[in-house]
Structures are given as C-alpha cells and as structure tokens.
Chain A
Amino acid sequence: MNNYINWFRRNLIRIYMALGFTYLFIPVAYTFGFSFNDAGKSNLVWKGFTLKNWQNPCGAPDVCVALGNSIKVGLISTILATFLGTLIAFAIARHRFRGRSTTNLLIFLPMATPEVVLGASLLAMFLNLGINPGFTTLVIAHVMFCISFVVVTVKARIASLDPHLEQAAMDLYANEFETFRRITLPLVAPGIAGAALLAFSLSFDDFIITNFNSGTFTTFPKFIYAASARGIPAQANVIGSSMFFLALAIVLAGQLVSKRKADVKG
C-alpha cells in the first residue's frame, strides 16, 4: 500500500500533466474522429466510418473557397505584419530614442484591447468614411492585430543574442551593414520565422475581428460559424485536422533542424 502511495506521490505531476494534455486534446480528437463520419450534411451524430470526406475535402459547397480566402488573407497579412513588426523590434531592442515608452505602450495596447473592441472600432471608422468592408479592410485589420505579437516575439529573440558576436564581427573589420547581414540577421531569423508562424495562425483562426471587417468576404472560421447553425459538414473537420497535422509537422521539422544545427556546432 505504501509503495502505491509513494509511486503516486512521485508521479503526481506526471499524472496531472497527462490529465492536462487529455483536456487539451479531447476536442481535437473529437474533430479528427468525426472527420471520418459518414454523416452527409450535418455532422452531429455518428453514422458510420467512411474515408470519402478525406478523399474529397472540397465536397461540401464553398468550404474550399473559404479555406482559400483564409490562406490568402493569412499569407498577405503575415508578410506585411512580419516585415513591419520586425523593423519595430529592431528599433526598440537596438536603439535609444525619444518616445521609446510611448512606442512600447502603442505596441502593448492592441494586445490589451478585447478583439470585439478592435473589430467594432475599425469597422465604425470604415463605415464613417464610406468604405465598404471586404478583402482589403480585412487584411488591414489582420496586419493591425498581428504587428504587436511579431514585435514581442522578435524583440525577445534579439534581446537573447550575445552582443559579443557582433562585436567580434566588427573586430574582424566587418562594417555595420555586413555585420547585420551575416551575423545579426541569421541569428534573429528563427525568431522572425516563429513570429511569422504565430501571425499566420492568429490571422487564419481569427473570427471576431474578421466578422466585423470582412463584409461578405468569407473566411474558413466565418464559414464554420455560419454552418454551425445548420450543422457543419464533415469536410470542415477534415480541413481542421489537416491544418493541425500540417502545423505540427512544420513545427517539429523546425525543431529538428535547429537541433541538428546545435549538434553540428557542439
């Protein structure tokens, strides 16, 4: 009996972790499981196993149009937000200038503002200016809320760099531009890549701000929300699950690459 209690005490944190991960993955597993449901239009009750949703993920009307739109908005917003955010991150991390604290505040505020306020205020401005919401306003909105997250991620990476590496490059007669291109930028690159991945996932998954600023332009989350009233087609589960596995593969591949680099260095 004592042995069991000891085992339990020693592994308490592991048991807790297992429970935590179970909680995190229950809806993911459910979504994946029901992507094999032979359900027809409304994917509410289990009707039997089928592969046909996976063989024809665009089978449900408009689901792939919505997906394509989301990817398009996500890519454009990610590129713009990553570019703008990285520049700001370098300015904050590497320079002293007047208005630094105002800048920090302006970066922090969008993250401290609820999405519904961001979305509603931007739409109100567009409407006041007589601009009809659509693709362009949506990209504008997504870039706006992604910038801060990019700045924070890239800034953290720059701050963790060893300044002596750059000094060493300068000692070896590299000028400032060369040092930046051959030392600083490659070292910061993983942070920029991480920030881009974060920006894309924020943009791709956003519903609240999108719903306010997209007009009749449909994105994947908007499609799901509209469909949820009458039952979501199983194809949406296929796409959701695929995105999950794709993202997992990208992140794990990234980790493998950085580990191999570290091994080579070591």
Chain B
Amino acid sequence: MAFLHASASKVTSLKEKKSLLPYLLLAPGMIWLFTFFILPIVNLAQTSTQTPVKGGDTGQYEQTLRFSNYVDAFVNNQEQFTRSFFYAFLATVLALAIAYPLAYGIAFKSGRFKNILLVLVVAPFFTSFLLRTIAWKQILGEEGPVIAVLRGLNIISQQTTLTASAFAVVTGLTYNFLPFMTLPLYVSLERIDPRTLEAAGDLYANAFTTFRKVTLPLSMPGVVAGTLLTFIPAAGDYINAAILGNPNTRMIGNVIESRFFKIVDYPTAAALSFTLMAAILILVTIYIRKAGTEELV
C-alpha cells in the first residue's frame, strides 16, 4: 500500500509542476461560461432595476437603481411564487416515491436485464418532451380514455375534468422529471455492496430494518441529487402549466415568459428571474447543508 501511495503522489507532483496546462484546458470552456452565463446574470441584475423611459415607446427602459421593482414584482406575483414552489415540491415527492422502488428494482432485482431497463428509463426522453406533455393532455382530456373510465365507474362526477387543472400540471411535472430522479438514485443504490445488506441480515435485522438502517442512508447522495435535479427545473418550468393548466395554475415561469414576450416588461421579468434564482439557490444550500452531502456532482 505504501508503495502505491508513493507512486500516486509522484504522478500528481509531476502534474503540479506544469501549472499552466490546467488553465489552458479550462480557459476556452470557462470563457464561454463566463461570457454567456455570468455576464448575462450580471446584466439581468442591472436590467432588474431599470425604469421605463418617460414618454418613450413600450420596451424602452433606462438604467436606474429602482430596487422597488423587486418589491413590486414579488408582491404582485406572490401567489405564482408560492404555487411554483408548492407544485415543484409535490412533483419532487411524487417522483421520489415512484423512482425509488424503480431504481431499487433495477439495481438489485433485475439480473441481466439491468442495462436494458436502465436504457428504458431514459428512452422516453427521446420522444420530444413537448409531444409527451401534449400526449398527457389528450390522454387525460375530454376525449381520452382515463376520463371515460373514471366517469363510467362514478369515481368522478360528469362535470369534473382532469385537464386544465392543478392535478394535470403536477402529473406532467412529475412525469417529465422522473428520469432525473431515477438515474442518480440508481447510481447510488448500485454502488452499495450487497454484502453490507447480508451483514445486516446476519445481525438479525429484518428486511425493513435493513432498508431503514443500511440501504436508505447509503443511498442518500442519490436522494439529494435526484430531488435537486427534479425540484430545480420543476420550479422554473412553464411548459406543463401552459399545456396542462388553466389561468389559476400559472407558475412563476409563465409570468416571466409573458412579461418578457407579451408585455415587454424587461425590468419586472429580470427582477422575477433574479428572485427565483436566489430563492432556489438559498433553498438548495440549506437542503445540502441539512442532508450533509457536500459532494454533489
């Protein structure tokens, strides 16, 4: 072992000497990210405090430091903010409940079909995300099979509809981000050495205790990564709400989109975007601290 350590450190020390190489490797990609990600965010911060030009056309703004844009944006859209985070939370919990057994089954119970099943989890991705969301709209819609069965069995009344509802939006969000939840869960479950589970059994833990005390804690990195990969895009999404929702299920993404394109109100759109980004980053940071997993990606 000592020998291996020595030679490993020799390799790293070799690379440390040529200190310019890593920067050359990093530079092109980092410049790209800086120019087209960081600078736009800075620019967004500037835009968010702009004021309309007096007597100017729609869409003309001048640079000021009007921080009350944030207060206005938040107060006027508090409902959509709360709804976005609530829907994203529901979708994350549902996706976790669906994906965990799925990932568990693929990792431990599928033998030689493991790789094929894993491919099948990702496969729906390749049929366009919009086509699948629109498919849900029609499956749950008035002419679709689901509503006919539910009405036939008198589970729902003849007037109740499934589409254009919060139910449909959350279904769509859960569905669309399910592979993002399943893959990290699978990766962390697959890493578990089956012998640790056997050891738990040898120490008289029953199946449930083994799961609670061994499997679940060991799969926590996957749970954290999966919930983040589901929650973040779900909170900012507007496609599901646009296709499967109604005016009362609008999410913050819908507001940003319409402020930008329909109302040409850039400062409000910018203030909303910035608030959304900050809220998500704060939530994510708290969550990672609580979950105790620093190594995320």
A contacts, CB < 8 Å to B: 13-14, 16-17, 20-21, 23-28, 30-32, 34, 44-45, 84-85, 87-88, 90-91, 94-97, 103-104, 106-118, 120-125, 127-128, 140-141, 143-144, 147-148, 151-152, 163-164, 166-167, 201, 205, 207-208, 211-212, 220-221, 224-225, 228, 232, 236-237, 240-241, 243-244, 246-248, 251-252, 255
Contact = CB atoms under 8 A, between A and B. Distances in A.
A147 B33 contact: yes
Contact of B44 (A44, A112, A124, A224): A124
A116 B84 CA distance: 13
B8 interface: yes
Interface string B26-55: 101110111011111101100100000000
A27 B138 CA distance: 9
Contacts of A85: 29
Given A95-B22, A205-B129, A220-B128, A128 B233 contact: no
A108 B21 CA distance: 22
Contact of A124 (B110, B243, B266): B266
Contact of A116 (B26, B43, B101, B253): B253
A117 B273 contact: yes
B128 A97 contact: no
B126 interface: yes
Contact of A248 (B19, B104, B119): B119
B8 A163 contact: yes
Contacts of B47: 124, 128
B40 A125 contact: yes
B286 interface: no
Contacts of A124: 40, 43-44, 47, 266, 269-270
Contacts of B76: none
Contacts of A241: 127
B115 A255 contact: yes
Interface string B126-140: 111111111110110
A14 B104 CA distance: 10
A27 B127 contact: yes
Contacts of A107: 33, 297
Contacts of B243: 228
B175 A23 contact: yes
B38 A106 contact: yes
B171 to A, nearest CB: 10
B11 A117 contact: no
Given A24-B121, A26-B139, A114-B280, A125 B39 contact: yes
